[in-house]
């Protein structure tokens, strides 16, 4: 998360269509500068070569980032056959070449093994910590990096198009922590060819979809036309899947001061102990609470009212 000592107190979400060849951090910095925002963060890093949905949170919305980071994601990606690289994408150094190309039948036949809960070894060029250092940093220094396999969940994976003897394109719907580059590597291994990701586009993160995204250029035009431009999606957008409760003014005052309130009987009946509940007052996000023994305990309060 990036912060400024000075700037405007703006709150909300912007769905950015991140351009190619820029890091997620730099894209966030550009958007924050355009809005002159004093607090901002992004949910779900995209590689510099990747494009697509990068949710940007500003102000109080940054407190809801964890609920987007953990959301399911959708990608469109293309595997270019013929060579593998150390980074598993087009930015890396070639490590192996092969003249063999997969058939459509081979590709579709191998996909079921990559659906559901699977184990996946992350790319060495990733942000995973290894003995206190980022894996990609060690890999760039030429140091040997061994990463353990991790369980991830793939909800759907489909072959959608091919360029004969050149490439194949897929659509992936997956849970958090899934690496598209590793999936491409494993698909190539399953059909006995060399290949790497040369196109990667994220089309959805949770409820944030590409059809509602804007580019940095479009954001710049909007801010130029309206210097007091505010993010169009409120902070609570990230909490759409969490049970919500409209509270009274007295309850709102208690929650703002960190005090517990009694939970309604129907809420208790409908949800288990430890369930997170969104508390709203007058239609505005007030607090995140936890249902415990018939009471709602605030654990994150928002300064929006």
Q: Per DSSP, what are the bridge partners of residue 13? A: 57, 233
Which residue, chain included where needed, has tokens 């351009």? 19
**Choice among 9, 17, 21, 47 that is catalytic:** 47
In terms of Cα–Cα distance, which of 125, 144, 121, 122 is closest to 134?
125
* Tokens 């355009």 sit on residue: 34
- Rounded CA Rg of the chain: 22
Neighbours of 199 (CB within 10 A): 17
User: Which phi and psi angles does 204 have, rounded to 5°?
Assistant: -160, 140
Verify whether residue 47 is a known catalytic residue.
yes
CA nearest to 84, candidates 115, 124, 138, 45: 124
- Closest by CA position to 80, among listed 162, 189, 167, 191: 167
Q: Which residues are catalytic?
A: 47
């Amino acid at each position: 998360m990036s912060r400024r000592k000075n700037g405007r107190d703006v709150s909300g979400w912007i769905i950015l269509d991140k351009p190619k060849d820029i890091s997620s951090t730099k894209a966030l910095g550009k958007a924050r500068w355009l809005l002159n925002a004093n607090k901002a963060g992004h949910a779900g890093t995209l590689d510099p070569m990747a494009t697509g949905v990068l949710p940007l949170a500003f102000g109080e919305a940054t407190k809801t980032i964890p609920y987007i980071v953990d959301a399911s994601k959708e990608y469109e990606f293309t595997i270019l056959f013929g060579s593998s690289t150390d980074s598993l994408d087009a930015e890396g150094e070639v490590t192996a070449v092969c003249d063999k190309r997969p058939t459509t039948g081979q590709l579709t036949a191998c996909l079921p093994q990559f659906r559901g809960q699977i184990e996946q070894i992350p790319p060495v060029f990733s942000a995973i910590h290894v003995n206190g250092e980022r894996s990609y940093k060690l890999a760039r220094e030429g140091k040997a990096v061994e990463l353990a396999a991790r369980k991830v969940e793939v909800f759907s994976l489909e072959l959608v198009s091919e360029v004969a003897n050149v490439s194949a394109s897929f659509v992936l719907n997956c849970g958090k922590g899934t690496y598209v580059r590793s999936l491409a590597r494993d698909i190539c291994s399953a059909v006995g060819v060399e290949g790497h990701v040369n196109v990667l586009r994220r089309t959805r993160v949770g409820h944030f979809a590409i059809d509602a995204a804007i580019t940095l250029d479009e954001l710049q035009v909007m801010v130029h036309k309206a210097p007091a431009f505010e993010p169009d999606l409120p902070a609570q957008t990230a909490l759409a899947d969490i049970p919500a409760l409209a509270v009274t003014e007295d309850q709102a005052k208690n929650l703002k001061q960190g005090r517990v309130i009694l939970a309604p009987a129907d809420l208790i009946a409908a949800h288990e102990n430890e369930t997170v509940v969104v508390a709203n007052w007058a239609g505005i996000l007030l607090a995140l609470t936890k249902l415990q023994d018939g009471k709602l305990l605030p654990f994150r309060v928002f300064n929006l009212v």
